[in-house]
Amino acid sequence: MTVTTERLPMLFCEVEVVSAERLSPSFVRVELGAPELAEFGVDGPRYDQRIKLVLPDPLTGGLAPVAGADDAWLTTWWGRPVAERGHVRTYTIRDVRGSGADTTLVVDLVLHLEAGATGPGSLWAARAAPGDRVVLMAPRRGHAFGGIEFAPPPGAELLLVGDETAVPAVCAVLEQLPSSATGAAFLEVPVTGDVLDVRRPHGMSVTWLPRNGAPLGERLHAAVVGHLGDPAPAADVAPEEVDPDLWETPSYSSSGEPVATAPTAGGPDDLYAWIAGESAVVTGLRRHLVRGVGMDRGQVAFMGYWRRGVPMRS
């Protein structure tokens, strides 16, 4: 039975795995469907729209109860122990297929094999099969949900940078950009077999950077620094310098720093950079773009999608 609620300004419902496919060594693609997805939608392009999955209990397979949820119920639910409500993980809508009650959301999940694929998200993805159920939080058409960070000024030259966790977002953005868009995307993935086909405007270059055993972020940092015209080697980021909640966009800063800053003299004024991935890697790139290259904080979005060695807070 599908359970949902009409009383929330978002979709909070059980969805079913319609298909599950091992896309590559490190990615599993699932297609999620439910009649409630007829109500799914955002105003304008969904770009890097994030969603949340509440995963079944890895031991019992039990799903978080969502029946009758309203705002008060949801607040209580968030306050409950993870053991009762299930682990929540954040993902990106890679694609939307079908329409009406046949709408499905496509989500590409990383298996995190370098970490042993032991997190609840990786475990669920590794075992996902048609008929499995999971709880989804997603935008309901006509209601503000948030979760789209890609917001370049019109005509900006684009720089899209991500590791494997941000590959779904960058690919979704590339496929939705206007055909006139220009710029470059750099994507680091665990192994060569993870390089995927992606549609893109002619003016956007895409460079895949398989690690194949190289340290996390090393190739990505070097490629971005080189692209910006500076051959300086990667600066190490000490663990204490990493903001575990790193999230800096033109409208929000996890550090509490003012978001509107005066442009730095000499910085590129027509470049917009969207950078997401492991927090230490993103911290290193942030330092280079803001302090080194002099980019204005209003032209960048830096997002820590995960942190090596630290399970995502549920």
Ligand X SMILES: Cc1cc2nc3c(=O)[nH]c(=O)nc-3n(C[C@H](O)[C@H](O)[C@H](O)COP(=O)(O)OP(=O)(O)OC[C@H]3O[C@@H](n4cnc5c(N)ncnc54)[C@H](O)[C@@H]3O)c2cc1C
Stretch that binds ligand X, among 60-68, 152-160, 163-171, 179-187 (CB under 6 A): 163-171
Assess 109 for contact with ligand X (CB under 6 A).
Answer: yes
Which residue, chain included where needed, has tokens 């009649």?
35
Our CB check for ligand X shows the closer of 93 and 159 to be: 93
String of contacts with ligand X for each residue 45-84, x by CB under 6 A: -----x----------------------------------
Single-letter amino acid code for the residue at 188: E
- Cα-based distances in Å from 156 to 15, 49, 104: 38, 20, 32
Single-letter amino acid code for the residue at 57: D
160 CB neighbour count, 10 Å cutoff: 27
Tell me, by CB under 6 A, how many residues bind ligand X. 28
- Three-state DSSP state, 157: strand
Least gap, CB of 70 to ligand X (angstroms)? 25
127 CB neighbour count, 10 Å cutoff: 12
Assess 274 for contact with ligand X (CB under 6 A).
Answer: no
Assess 119 for contact with ligand X (CB under 6 A).
Answer: yes
C-alpha to C-alpha distance for 310 and 304, rounded to whole angstroms: 12
- Give the residue, chosen from 33, 56, 86, 120, that forms a contact with ligand X under the rule CB under 6 A: 120
- Give the residue, chosen from 65, 203, 298, 311, that forms a contact with ligand X under the rule CB under 6 A: 311
Assess 164 for contact with ligand X (CB under 6 A).
Answer: yes
Stretch that binds ligand X, among 112-120, 152-160, 177-185, 233-241 (CB under 6 A): 112-120
Residues 202-261 close enough to bind ligand X by CB under 6 A: none
Our CB check for ligand X shows the closer of 115 and 156 to be: 115
- Give the residue, chosen from 168, 183, 250, 284, that forms a contact with ligand X under the rule CB under 6 A: 168
Least gap, CB of 266 to ligand X (angstroms)? 32
Residues 5-44 close enough to bind ligand X by CB under 6 A: none
Residues 6+ apart with CB under 8 A from 175: 95, 198, 199, 200
Assess 4 for contact with ligand X (CB under 6 A).
Answer: no
Say if CB 304 and CB 245 are below 8 A apart.
yes
- Three-state DSSP state, 121: helix
Stretch that binds ligand X, among 3-11, 57-65, 292-300, 305-313 (CB under 6 A): 305-313
Least gap, CB of 252 to ligand X (angstroms)? 13
C-alpha to C-alpha distance for 159 and 191, rounded to whole angstroms: 22
Assess 110 for contact with ligand X (CB under 6 A).
Answer: yes
Least gap, CB of 231 to ligand X (angstroms)? 28
Our CB check for ligand X shows the closer of 135 and 293 to be: 135
- Cα-based distances in Å from 232 to 48, 131, 229: 30, 51, 9
Our CB check for ligand X shows the closer of 52 and 227 to be: 52
Nearest in space to 300 (alpha carbons), one of 291, 290, 313: 290
Contacts 24+ apart (CB under 8 A), 100-105: 100/38, 101/35, 101/37, 101/38, 102/33, 103/33, 103/37, 103/38, 103/40, 104/18, 104/31, 104/32, 104/33, 104/37, 105/15, 105/31, 105/32, 105/33, 105/37, 105/40, 105/51, 105/136, 105/138
- Contact positions vs ligand X (CB under 6 A): 50, 89-92, 108-110, 112, 114-115, 118-122, 164-165, 168-169, 305-312
